Amino acid sequence: MTAAIGVKGHCAHCDITFELKPWQLNAIAIQEPFDCPYCERVLQLGCPRQLRQFQALSQWAVVRPGMVALTCVVLAVAMVAEWVGLISVIAQLNLSVLVLLTHFLVLRYVRYRQRMTLDLQVVSPALPIEQLARIACARLSQP
Ligand SMILES: [Zn+2]
């Protein structure tokens, strides 16, 4: 999930903010709890507002390749237009600079929108399967 580079998580228990790894981002996306890498408590994103914000990140991911394609097309069209004599060299240069400037401004904005810190709450872990199995075995072995 290259979409969410720069997303950080804040552990409510140990108060440490850390960069989220792709598998942790996946866990958050499917609302699956995961362990804090520092205090090993089970964490989950509890805030619905932040969850919506996080899910919207994937929309921003398509902006980058879209902008690259758009910039390339505009640059090519400007070059051809200058070549066939529709616009002057100065106009072509101006257009190219303008397009490149817009390109970098948009990418900067996307990067700014993608930078976020998720407040991760500690959740009490469900009883692990092994423990349940042990209880069941103990019950069954009783006379
Ligand atoms: Zn922690």
41-77 per-position pLDDT tens digit: 999 998 999 999 888 887 888 888 999 999 999 999 9
Q: Supply the pLDDT for residue 3.
A: 46
Q: How far is the CA of 84 from the centre of ligand 1 (A)?
A: 63
Domain count, the chain: 1
Q: Is residue 138 scored above 50 in pLDDT?
A: yes
Question: What range defines the domain where residue 107 resides?
Answer: 2-141
The reported pTM is 0.61
What amino acid is encoded at 44 in this protein? Q
Q: How far is the CA of 119 from the centre of ligand 1 (A)?
A: 11
Which residues surround the ion ligand 1 when the cut-off is CB under 5 Å? 11, 13-14, 36, 38-39
Q: How far is the CA of 54 from the centre of ligand 1 (A)?
A: 20
Convert the pLDDT of each residue in 12-29 to its tens digit: 999 999 999 989 999 998
User: Cβ–Cβ contacts within 10 Å for residue 52, how many?
Assistant: 9
DSSP E strand stretches across the chain: 7-11, 17-19, 34-35, 42-45, 116-122
CA distance readout (Å), 25 to 14, 42, 54: 19, 14, 9
* Mean confidence (pLDDT) of the chain: 87
Helix (H, G, I), strand (E, B) or coil at 104: helix
